[in-house]
Structure 1
Amino acid sequence: MKYIFFLFFVLLSFSGCSKNEEPMAEMAVSAIKLAPKNESAASSDIQADLASPQIPQKIIKEASLRFETDNLEDTFNRIQTAIAANKASIQNDSEGKDYDNIYRNLTIRVPSQNFDSFVNAISKGVSYFERKDISSQNVTEQYIDLTSRLKTKRKLEERYLQILQKATKISEILEIEKQISAIREEIEAKEGQLKYLESRVAESTVTIEFYKTIAQKEGVKTSYGSKLWTAIQSGFFSLSEFLISIVSLWPFIILFCVLAYFIRKRFKRKKI
């Protein structure tokens, strides 16, 4: 920081003594070149922040559950009770039917502090899980890094705004405003990343898939009746096609009958 203030002091002093003033745009470029030094200094602050016990850990929790149930409606009602008790919300709800089961899939967002309580409430009525994956990701370092870089960009923006107030030429103003616009885009991008990270930390995602197996006897009866009806329809269509094919050959049948008649008549004459 001493080098930066010293450089600005020299530039300002030189501009007061010299007849040709140095353009403000060049001062802006100098500020850009010095910015990486500030960011490297900010990275050292990140390590200090990580060592500080005052910063709470930023952890993203997720869970994926799959299990079988005897009653889909009762299971869904039990999940809704757990949702209300833990201040959660349903983000996605879908249901359908496969060959041998009826299923329902839920995606639930639950406050991170209620994550364990919610998963335990869902697990109580389940005899066994076909899938139960619970994961946690510590993003504290990423969170501090984004916060520090965002602070550095905001300080850089303030420095350019101060330079802009001293600019007199249109070319200088346009150049500085261009740099400020680029910095603000970076600030908005980092703010978006930070908000997304905070959202994932604040609320955990729990995916629940539960299903009921269709009775095998019902499936056999349904399948047998369907096959029988399909066979009857297939036989009827085959017979229809056969009759149609015979009708389409009527000229050849008539010709065959005529030839057979003359051949038979000729044989009769020979015998006489």
Structure 2
Amino acid sequence: MKHEKIKELLPLYIDSGLTAEEKEAVKKHLKDCSECKKALQEYQQNYNFISNLAELAVPEGFKESILKKAGEEMKEKDNRQVSLFEKIKGSFSLPIRIPAGVLGLAALVLVVFISTLPGLLNNGNNMTDYNLLKKDNLNNQVQYFSYSASDMNYSAPESNMRMASLAAKENTVAIEQKIIKRANLVIEKINIDEVNEILINLVESHKGYISNSRNWLNSNKQKHFWFEIRVPADNFGLLVERLSSKEFGQLISSNISSQDVTEEYMDLETRLKNLLAQEERYRNLLDMATEVEEILKIENELNRIRTEVEILQGRKNYLDNQISYSTITVEFRQPEPISSGTPGIIRALRNAVSQMIEQVYRIIIFIGTLIPYLILILILYLFYRSRKRRVE
């Protein structure tokens, strides 16, 4: 089972709404996936927090109004059932002279009615439930309605989140591919000084812009001009082809790459939708909360969700920018100067003098290294000589 499918099943896993096979697959996946473990902990914390919220007090007269309304609805359903029975009963009292085709149609209607009879029996059971409800005391009824409201507040946002996730998955095929295109060119050009103005006009004609540029001289006095160009993705191929032509010089190297970020982009959109749904849900809970502790907990969760939303939205904005505008880096450089085959006399003399100076430096360094040892030997020699004289 895929990672995204497991993430969609996590709320049902907490609600014990999965089959044994699905539950086993989720357990096995959680052992290896830290992201799903973290998401499961967040769902569990939210579930525990909402389950522990204080019950809402039922307004006065709520019981009587509900019971009265339920009784009226049950009576209406009972009346509709009786009237339907009378109609069917009347159909059997028709004269014998009715054509056979009409009798066949009546038989078909009777079969359809029998097939729908279980549903009518369930409606009859609702009346029994209503009578049992009247026998309960007020406290049990208040508790029943409070829990129902709590369950509704919890399950509705979770259902919406799962529906949004499933809808995003169904639309996978319809979403266009998200491709980031890049190119890196190195070009040799003799008249390199004029490239700046020419390149600016070329980029503007393709509705792009130069985002960065620099120039320098290397050790051989060669000029280098480097540009980073942002151009709409639709004009990427045209601009690369134009820069690679002989008009701009000799193309030395070319590297073109494409990165498919469709899956990451869809994942970001799904996670953003889920987080925004969670944020809306917590805001509703914040309006309902009355205790300071509950308000602080909800605000902490809102801050955490808002931080995650900003991070994901920032990444999505970056991808949108990279997808809509492709990047081309191009380096222009002068050709290397042609050197003569054999050095002249002056160059040979210069090399000889530089080598001689280098040798002198080495000798000086060697002597400087030996001086401390020579001084130590000299001290030992003078000490030995003075002692020998005293003995004589």
* 1:111–1:203 Cα contact (<8 Å) kept: yes
1:162 pairs with one of 272, 284, 302: 284
Residue 261 of structure 1 is matched in structure 2 by: none
Mind listing any 5+ residue stretches in structure 1 that lack a counterpart? 239-272
Q: 1:12 to 1:178 in 2, by over 3 A?
A: closer
Residue in structure 2 matched with residue 106 of structure 1 by the alignment: 227
Question: Match of 2:189?
Answer: 69
Change (3 A) 1:183 1:232: same
* One-letter amino acid of the structure 1 residue matched with residue 236 of structure 2: F
Code of the aligned partner of 1:149 = R
Moved more, 193-202 or 109-118: 109-118
Code of the aligned partner of 1:156 = Q
Q: Aligned equivalents of 1:14 and 1:173: distance in 2?
A: 16
* Distance apart, 1:42 and its partner CA: 4.7
Alpha-carbon displacement from aligned partner over 1:96-136 (angstroms, at most 9, x marks no partner): 23344432221111111211111122122256533211111
Match of 2:328 among 206, 220, 225: 206
More RCO (CA 8 Å, sep 6+): 1
Q: In 2 relative to 1, CA 168–218 (structure 1 residues): closer, same or farther, beyond 3 Å?
A: farther
Asked if the contact 2:208–2:230 (Cα under 8 Å) also holds between the matched residues in 1, the reply is yes
Q: What is the SS of the residue equivalent to 1:105? A: strand
**1:182/1:236 CA distance change after superposition, 3 Å:** closer
Quote the offset at 1:87 in angstroms: 1.9
Aligned to 1:82: 202
Select which of 168, 184, 196 maps to 1:46. 168
Contact 1:59 1:139 in 2 (8 A): yes
For 1:44 and 1:236, the matched residues in 2 are separated by: 80
- Measured after TM superposition, the shift of residue 225 of structure 1 is 5.9
Residue identity matched to 2:217: K
Q: Which residues of 2 match residues 1-272 of structure 1 at below 5 A?
A: 16=58, 17-18=142-143, 42-52=164-174, 55-100=175-220, 101-124=222-245, 125=247, 129-217=251-339, 228=349
What TM-score do you get using the length of structure 1 for normalisation?
0.66
Which structure 2 segments of 5+ residues have no match? 1-10, 16-46, 59-141, 361-392
**Matches of 1:44 and 1:224, distance apart in 2:** 83
In 2, Cα distance between equivalents of 1:133 and 1:74:
24
| Counterpart in the other structure of 2:100 | none
2:171 alignment partner, SS class: helix
Percent identity between the two aligned chains? 29
Gap change, CA 1:186 and 1:92, over 3 Å in 2: same
Q: Structure 1 residues 74 and 225 mapped into 2: Cα distance closer, same or farther (>3 Å)?
A: farther
Is residue 62–residue 134 contact of structure 1 (8 Å, CA) maintained in 2? Answer: yes
8 Å CA contact retained: 2:161, 2:277: no
SS in 1 for 2:251: coil
Q: Which amino acid aligns with 2:304?
A: A
Aligned partners of 2:243 and 2:279: how far apart in 1? 50
After TM superposition, the score normalised by the length of structure 2 is 0.48
Residues 1:62 and 1:234: Cα distance change in structure 2 (over 3 Å): closer
Aligned to 2:65: none
Indicate if the aligned counterparts of 1:63 and 1:135 stay in contact, CA closer than 8 A.
yes
Other-structure match for 1:253: none
Task: Give, as a single letter, the amino acid of the residue that structure 2 aligns with 1:121.
Answer: R
CA distance in structure 1 between the partners assigned to 2:345 and 2:57 by the alignment: 97
* Residues 66, 210 of structure 1: 8 Å contact kept: yes
